[in-house]
Amino acid sequence: MNQHTLQAAIVAVALSCAYVPASRAMAQAAESPAPVKTVTLNFVDADIEGVVKAMAEVTGKNFVLDPRVKGTVNIISARPVARDTVYEVFLSALRLQGFAAVEDHGLVKILPEADAKQHSNVQSSRHPGSDGLQTRVFALAHQSAVQLVPTLRPLVAPNNTITALQDSNSLVITDYAGNLERLAGIIAAVDQPDEAGATMIVLQHASALDAARTINNLFAAAPQALQTLQGTDPTQRVAVIADARSNSLLVRAADPARLAQVRKFAALLDSPTSAAGNVHVVYLKNAEAVQLAETLRGIYSGSASPPGQVSGAAAPAEAAQPNATAGVAIGGGAQAASGGGMPATGDAMPQAATVPGIIQADAATNSIIITAPDAVYNNLRAVVEKLDARRLQVYVEALVVELTANKAGEFGIQWQDLGGIGESGTQVFGGTNFGGAGRNIIGIAQNPASAGPGLNIGTVHGSVTVGGVQVLNLGLLARALETDSNANILSTPTLLTLDNEEAKIVVGQNVPFITGQYAVSGAATTPSPFQTIERKDVGLTLRIRPQISEGGVVRLQIYQEVSSIADTANPAGVITNTRSIESTVLVDDGQIIVLGGLMQDSVNGGVAKVPLLGSLPLLGGLFRYNNHSRTKTNLMVFLRPTVLRDAQGAGALTGERYDYIRGQQIHAEPTRGAVRGNDPSPLLPPLPPASAGQDNRR
């Protein structure tokens, strides 16, 4: 189409829009022009850019044309078209050329259809208006969004998209508005609730728990092709759940044939047995058979005990039987007596006569053997199912932080005169003597090697003999010492234990303590000294007993002790420094809580001097001994319990701790050299994946 033809088409549209009858020309001169409701379109091989300009004049919209949009458009109307539908006709013509219009913030973008979906607006509900490209989100209430994608894919334009969001069970579809309305109707018709409801099958003889497990295992053991069909076709799915309270099966199956199969299997399992007392073996998964058997015995022995007897106690006849410790009769009459239980009359134990049976535990296989009628067994089986649940575990991390700072100083001068010692006649000696062992002048004169740490300066005038012992004639001793020590100790003991079970960890030394001594002597024997010794653990001790409530709060009975051997020697024995906390606290899962601590700041000081002389100005320092010390101690104990509810949580925690200690081994690997050689240090192997470990165990 040439430029002249395009101009003629635009003029035709403009004249058609501006046409006004002559009879109203005078009235419109004083009033605003009335809007025209129809438009005649006539575009033959018209360039798209020119058509877009004409549409902008007619519709009043602002268009943005992508540079890749090129070509011609043919729009021919034999009669006038309603002005409201002109834009829709234009959009339909663009779709035939492979282009699409996207409205965004008052602008209409003309883009290639393949790229238009990236610029479309998101609509969560019906959006009336143009037939432009839109993106809508359909939230499904009953059906699976993933399963609907293959069904709806052929109904979406090839260049447009449909995506399923599994987490929110929603469909995200980008398509033209008209097609989205059609898809919305289809989705609404498909997204209906399943017609299959839950069916209850009441059992008379068999245990619902055992029957549900058997039926589910039967369907799980079906051929692979059938299992695949069950996973993809909702009508083939079967769910069987046991209700222990009513001893019934709750079955959900969309296919009537599947439901009939479940009924058939349930009828076969619910057949009565010929024996009066049935023997059932229940294998436990988590509980301990011996303890659980005692609990079950207490249930019935408590209701069957006569007045004056403790619930669950064994009768004298039962104690005489060698096998009575493994089982107890839960009935009355002759059956109870033969089963090892307490014989009773109908008047003494009216309830026991209705529940005959025996409960025994086999520790080797961790199983319980129940000999009882079906009604009694079903009640016991329901109790066993609840008590045999997987117990939670608690991982406790304790943080013991101790900061100690010690500063001390001492200075003094001591005098001594032993010059006359050892000569005949009466002699006089004198001197000053300050401090304890290793610090006073007399002790050092006897043994110079016993001088304490610090600066020790003295004058020696040979040696003298005192009481037959030769000592140094130490005339003067000047001593000075200043100490500054700091300690930062962090201990992190960790412990894993079952709910309501006590656990203990000790890291330290087993130190002997002398508790007594004596000597055995006789007329013809040499006295032999003896000592009695008691060994005690010195180090770090952590003992806990957790109890987990329904809300996840952990009640902890905890005892924490940190002990060490003091450096100070004592003739009576070893001195230990002990810091311990014993408490019961409530802690949320994963919360860090402070158990307690100690903040101590002690200052000690003193002056030892000669009266009068030690108080003299300047010269008094020659007759004094000064010492001063300050010790600050900060001790805090923190605690954090973590509840492990399943095997995945325990495995993740184990893997984290395993990788940490392995990383510490790698970091501590010493550098190889000529002296050390090339021998590698022991190193933990990498932790295998959980799936691989399970395959190996199988």
DSSP per residue, 230-275: HHH-GGG-EEEEEETTTTEEEEEESSHHHHHHHHHHHHHHTPPPSS
Q: What pLDDT is recorded for position 33?
A: 52
Token pair for 247 = 């001893």
Domain ranges for the chain: 1-119, 198-269, 278-307+324-389, 646-669+682-688
| Residue corresponding to tokens 């809580």 | 593
Which span out of 212-221, 275-284, 430-439, 641-650 was modeled with the highest average pLDDT? Answer: 641-650
Q: What pLDDT is recorded for position 454?
A: 82
pLDDT exceeds cutoff 70 at 676: no
Q: Are 61 and 83 in contact (CB under 8 A)?
A: no
**Can you tell me the mean pLDDT for 458-478?**
76
- Choice between 208 and 320, residue whose per-residue pLDDT is larger: 208
Out of 272-276, 549-553, 568-572, which region has the weakest mean confidence (pLDDT)? 272-276
- The correct CATH number of 278-307+324-389 out of 3.40.50.12780, 3.40.50.300, 3.30.1370.120, 3.30.720.210 is 3.30.1370.120
pLDDT exceeds cutoff 80 at 298: yes
Q: What is the largest CA-CA distance in the chain?
A: 164
Confidence of residue 365 (pLDDT cuts 50, 70, 90): very high
Question: In angstroms, rounded to a whole number, what is the distance separating the alpha carbons of residues 508 and 110?
Answer: 79
What percent of the chain has a predicted confidence (pLDDT) above 90? 10
Q: What pLDDT is recorded for position 520?
A: 66
Q: 359: how many CB neighbours lie within 10 A of its CB?
A: 26
Q: What pLDDT is recorded for position 2?
A: 46
- Choice between 330 and 367, residue whose per-residue pLDDT is larger: 367
Question: In angstroms, rounded to a whole number, what is the distance separating the alpha carbons of residues 498 and 240?
Answer: 31
**479-488 confidence digits (pLDDT tens):** 888 888 888 8
Global confidence as pTM? 0.53
Confidence of residue 424 (pLDDT cuts 50, 70, 90): low
pLDDT exceeds cutoff 70 at 117: no
Out of 93-97, 425-429, 546-550, 641-645, which region has the weakest mean confidence (pLDDT)? 425-429
Contacts with 602 (C-beta within 8 Å, 6 or more apart), sequence order:
630, 631, 632
The three-state secondary structure class of 533 is strand
CA distances from 488 to 401, 491, 566, 575 (A): 8, 10, 17, 21
**373-402 confidence digits (pLDDT tens):** 877 888 888 889 889 988 899 999 988 888
Q: Which residues pair with 506 in a beta bridge?
A: 541
Q: What pLDDT is recorded for position 130?
A: 54
Q: What is the residue type of 386?
A: K
Q: What pLDDT is recorded for position 395?
A: 94
Q: What is the residue type of 417?
A: D
Q: What pLDDT is recorded for position 49?
A: 81
198-269 adopts what CATH topology?
Ribosomal Protein S8; Chain: A, domain 1 (3.30.1370)
The crossing angle, in degrees rounded to 10, of helices 256-269 and 208-220 is 130
Token pair for 494 = 């960790």
- The correct CATH number of 1-119 out of 3.30.70.330, 3.30.1370.120, 3.30.930.10, 3.30.300.30 is 3.30.1370.120
Beta strands 494-498 and 469-491, pairing class:
unpaired
Confidence of residue 502 (pLDDT cuts 50, 70, 90): very high
In which element (H, E) is residue 484 found? strand 469-491
- Are both 1-119 and 198-269 of the same fold? yes
Q: What pLDDT is recorded for position 474?
A: 78
**Can you tell me the mean pLDDT for 638-647?**
91
Out of 3-12, 117-126, 221-230, 629-638, which region has the weakest mean confidence (pLDDT)? 3-12
Q: Are 439 and 659 in contact (CB under 8 A)?
A: no
**189-207 confidence digits (pLDDT tens):** 888 776 556 788 898 888 8
CA distances from 22 to 19, 27, 31, 638, 657 (A): 9, 10, 15, 97, 95
pLDDT exceeds cutoff 70 at 277: no
Mean pLDDT for the chain?
Answer: 75
pLDDT exceeds cutoff 80 at 273: no
- Choice between 102 and 265, residue whose per-residue pLDDT is larger: 265
Q: Closest Cα partner for 438 from 475, 481, 393, 404?
A: 481
Q: What pLDDT is recorded for position 425?
A: 54
Q: What pLDDT is recorded for position 496?
A: 93
**48-74 confidence digits (pLDDT tens):** 888 888 888 777 788 878 788 877 877
- Choice between 567 and 24, residue whose per-residue pLDDT is larger: 567
Cβ neighbourhood burial of 632 (10 Å; 0-12, 13-18, 19+): middle
pLDDT exceeds cutoff 70 at 242: yes
Which span out of 491-495, 517-521, 526-530, 613-617 was modeled with the highest average pLDDT? Answer: 491-495
pLDDT exceeds cutoff 60 at 617: yes
**Can you tell me the mean pLDDT for 292-306?**
71
Q: Are 145 and 165 in contact (CB under 8 A)?
A: yes
Residue 339 per-residue DSSP state: T
Cα radius of gyration (the chain): 48
